[in-house]
Structure 1
């Protein structure tokens, strides 16, 4: 496979290679290397500390840092995955991005690596002769460019010369306002081999959604990881911003990453969520029960930031529950109508801001445990599930991290190092957030208290 990657780089006349790994937030960290050096070295080294960086670039507290990592701040080893190489069509030099896997000096996968976390979950399925299939739906907003972080975001100017106003769900004309941007996006995705499908206008003002074709979870996660940057680059080319923040605009719907997931038997190719008669199987119900039971303890992987929980405020369109129902979008777990072979469940809880590797890992792991333990789900919901309280989720990042920290099942499957490291980065970000004085405080407290 290394020879295939080297041949591909030469065929594409690549001169530079971006060697990257995903940190816990989902930020691409790595090095830019001349192609000849990349081919000669067949990998790179990066300091362990990058996996305990927060979104602000800060690190976790020293006592936690040194308890989890070598105090000498040693390097880990990164090896390129030949199946995860992508062109970067917007660069001046012919450039490729290659996603790397991470190992310690003994050849063991780094536990804090989000990509390794997903691979660990997929290995559990493989041991049972199962292959998960996923298809994400990525929501995002387009906004005008701004440098004043205290000012609310505004919708961008479209082809008509006017900004969008009001709610335009599924409007073709509203989506057409940004055709030049989306044409570049589709062209670039095709060049990269990203298997995106439909584009729709979502409920919010200048809010859109791109659907990915179903496929292998690791491959799909890599593609979403690359797509988010591709879309942002296409937007910048057209002088607008594309954001995957969970709740970027006050009084507008949040942006989700809906995850459709099913499981097939690796030998027969049959969907194990359906019986031979085409009915829903016990494994299907077990999978849903696992999602209901364990998602509440993994919410920090689906809603990783302080802003993430603004999606879950009252009177929003996001379901704040782990109820399930047939074609019921008010449930956190929706079962779309489909053929027996395509039977699946849609996890509607993850935010668009989540690290895609960790969100898919969390969702698949929850369903897997349900299948292994043979758990039975609650009865499906008919009608509105928004007001359901018996399966309500933690509504703050503080409560969510505490619940994740205290879950022995997650520690058994994901390991203490990952759980403690991930929670430490969330708490460091919360501390950083609390130091910022908001415009709300200045507006309502400055002259009144």
Structure 2
């Protein structure tokens, strides 16, 4: 529901009409926390419209201090008194929730303080901050995520490994089936629900493929505005999980859920347009690379190591980034080369783009898109030069150039002065605090590997 240039009262009236037309009884008001989880409140429709009038929909600021385990941290940046922030619903994001029996809407909110200033540590605001930098220079980014995920049997005891689900043939998929049509068809009813749910929510997904892992799939988005695509990806992950549960299986966006199987990525295709002309700034009309295109790639090469906590945010993320598991381990670039971290697909000049293959499916989409655009922006602003194009496999012949574990990545982000500045120093500080607390919790867990190999052998 587009409301550009409308007054608050007009926007409220149109929202009220939209909700009444669909007989919506409740509205989910949601924000994404640091890990991309949906937090918020569920309100009766009348209460929602009242809070919209009064700007009185509130949540504690500390939701942005919440770890993936549900713990709250003490922050050096945010107040220890846990003040409220105001949630401002974005009318452009209102959608029906298709898996409920009763008509229910969901709407994504922006978090602001009482004076109307943005909560700069909120992930959606971080992406808006980066997009504003592009807008100031007359540049318009265009992105298209590709999101991978696994299906698995319900796993109610986390001490047991995951197991692929049983498809309509009655058998488990225990071998890899890259691009297998019949393998995807094993779960046709589930994917029919995914596509139906996405259509009802105006989530603009395109291609479905079977990926390399057992019961691993990928769904691609059509290209578009980065904020809109981040919103859609945020809702998409929830949608796929709900569709899977309806069929009594799990869908997981964990970066490396299965031992011995490839990890799941969130590849991000990106290009930059001139706002006035709509021309792709990455290619000349005759198809040659522009200087800005090379600058953008160079920015990704230089700053991605520091941005890793935003695109590989968990301990598990780094289990995916291993040479022999078809994931990038460096920041080389190349044309039609899937072994590099930065791939340039073959395309017409108008569609010239770079694909960042480093982000994991477990990343918060707002932060993953913000991070990759921030790196490219710095490259263009500083007119950096990339390394020579990689024309061979970058897996085995090249050393690791990315952090190998989360603590290394967090230290690189802490030291990345220029990246911290454009992402927002307060945001980076809070994010580091959250991720360090998560690592502290992880360190207290003894793994099955340790019991297997150390219990009686050391």
Shared fold per TM-score greater than 0.5: yes
Query: Structure 1 residue 391: deviation in Å?
Result: 6.5
Query: Structure 1 residue 68: deviation in Å?
Result: 1.2
- Match of 1:95? 104
Contact preservation (8 Å) 1:290, 1:369 = yes
Query: Structure 1 residue 146: deviation in Å?
Result: 1.6
1:325 and 2:334 matched: yes
Q: Secondary structure at the match of 1:175?
A: helix
Task: Determine which of 315, 320, 345 is the counterpart of 1:336.
Answer: 345
- Match of 2:145? 136
Q: C-alpha separation between the residues in 2 aligned to 1:269 and 1:86?
A: 29
Aligned runs of 1:344-383 on 2, under 5 Å? 344-383=353-392
Q: Secondary structure at the match of 2:90?
A: strand
Q: C-alpha separation between the residues in 1 aligned to 2:293 and 2:323?
A: 30
Q: C-alpha separation between the residues in 2 aligned to 1:389 and 1:222?
A: 36
Aligned runs of 1:281-292 on 2, under 5 Å? 281-292=290-301
- Match of 1:407? 416
Per-residue CA shift, 1:338-368, capped at 9, x if unaligned? 0000000000000000000000000001001
- Match of 2:59? 46
What's the Cα RMSD here? Answer: 1.0
Per-residue CA shift, 1:194-222, capped at 9, x if unaligned? 10001000000000000000000000000
Per-residue CA shift, 1:225-268, capped at 9, x if unaligned? 00101110000000000000000000000000000000011111
1:151 and 2:164 matched: no
- Match of 2:444? 435
Q: Secondary structure at the match of 1:133?
A: strand
Per-residue CA shift, 1:348-390, capped at 9, x if unaligned? 0000000000000000010011111111100110010113546
Task: Determine which of 107, 121, 124 is the counterpart of 2:133.
Answer: 124
- Match of 2:24? 14
- Match of 2:41? 31
Q: C-alpha separation between the residues in 2 aligned to 1:260 and 1:267?
A: 22
Contact preservation (8 Å) 1:286, 1:371 = yes
Q: C-alpha separation between the residues in 1 aligned to 2:168 and 2:399?
A: 47
Q: C-alpha separation between the residues in 2 aligned to 1:448 and 1:381?
A: 44
Aligned runs of 1:214-225 on 2, under 5 Å? 214-225=223-234
Contact preservation (8 Å) 1:132, 1:217 = yes
- Match of 1:395? 404
Query: Structure 1 residue 411: deviation in Å?
Result: 2.3
Contact preservation (8 Å) 1:247, 1:310 = yes
Contact preservation (8 Å) 2:323, 2:395 = no
Measured at CA, do residues 214 and 378 of structure 1 come closer, stay the same or move farther in structure 2, by a change above 3 Å?
same
TM-score (norm 1): 0.98
Q: C-alpha separation between the residues in 1 aligned to 2:219 and 2:433?
A: 32
Q: C-alpha separation between the residues in 2 aligned to 1:21 and 1:49?
A: 13
Query: Structure 1 residue 59: deviation in Å?
Result: 1.9
1:198 and 2:207 matched: yes
Contact preservation (8 Å) 1:59, 1:428 = no
- Match of 2:8? none
* Alignment size in residue pairs: 445
Task: Determine which of 423, 426, 434 is the counterpart of 2:432.
Answer: 423
Runs of 4+ off more than 6 Å: none
Contact preservation (8 Å) 2:331, 2:341 = yes
Q: C-alpha separation between the residues in 1 aligned to 2:389 and 2:227?
A: 30
Contact preservation (8 Å) 2:374, 2:419 = no
1:72 and 2:85 matched: no
Q: C-alpha separation between the residues in 2 aligned to 1:50 and 1:173?
A: 43
Per-residue CA shift, 1:387-437, capped at 9, x if unaligned? 354661111100000010011102221222111100111100000001011
Q: C-alpha separation between the residues in 2 aligned to 1:345 and 1:224?
A: 19
TM-score (norm 2): 0.96
Query: Structure 1 residue 69: deviation in Å?
Result: 1.3
